[in-house]
Amino acid sequence: MDDIEALKAQYLNHQFDEKEFEVAAEKVAAFATTCGETNPKFTDPSHADFQASPTFASSLVAGRNLPEGFPLFGGIALDGGKTVVPHKPIRPGAPVVGRSHVADIYTKTGRSGRMIFIVSRQEFSDRAGDLLATADTNLIIREKITE
């Protein structure tokens, strides 16, 4: 448990990646259509209130999932799912800046041993700094037990 507290002290809430995304209307419409969206404000670029659907931020991928040097405990990181929270509409044509940091690290112990859970968070904002969306990626590492 001490190793997790040390990881928190070293990595929690420290930005480790930043990327600017150009949001194209065609990509926004295609994403919404692929997800089964039918509301024209998400699928029709000519709509007066055209904007990205609420989960669009999940399609914006940064360069890294974890900070450089982050230990994997001899295991393999598995995808534990993603959570997207929209705050303001993402509009095509306006640049979106994604900044990544580790938001949480915790463990659970089960029959197969200790598993480490890491929440990597991307916060998306416009050039003015207004928060548009937050996307959390949950990674699970099953610690490799050495005998």
Q: pLDDT tens across 91-104, in order?
A: 999 999 999 999 99
Q: The whole model's pTM is what?
A: 0.88
Q: Residue 147 pLDDT > 70, yes or no? A: no
Of 75, 59, 67, nearest in space to 133 by CA: 59
Q: Residue 1 pLDDT > 70, yes or no? A: no
> Is the Cβ–Cβ distance between 135 and 124 less than 8 Å?
yes
**Locus of tokens 């029959």:** 111
Q: Can you list the domains of the chain with their CATH numbers?
A: 2-142 (3.10.129.10)
Q: Residue 144 pLDDT > 80, yes or no? A: no
Q: Tell me, what's the pLDDT at 145?
A: 66
Which helix (H) or strand (E) segment is 7 a member of? Answer: helix 2-11
**Locus of tokens 């949480």:** 104
What's the pLDDT tens digit per position in 32-91?
999 999 999 999 999 999 999 999 999 998 888 899 999 888 888 889 999 999 999 999
Which helix (H) or strand (E) segment is 4 a member of? Answer: helix 2-11
Mean pLDDT for the chain? Answer: 93
Q: Tell me, what's the pLDDT at 72?
A: 83
How many residues does the structure list for the chain?
A: 147
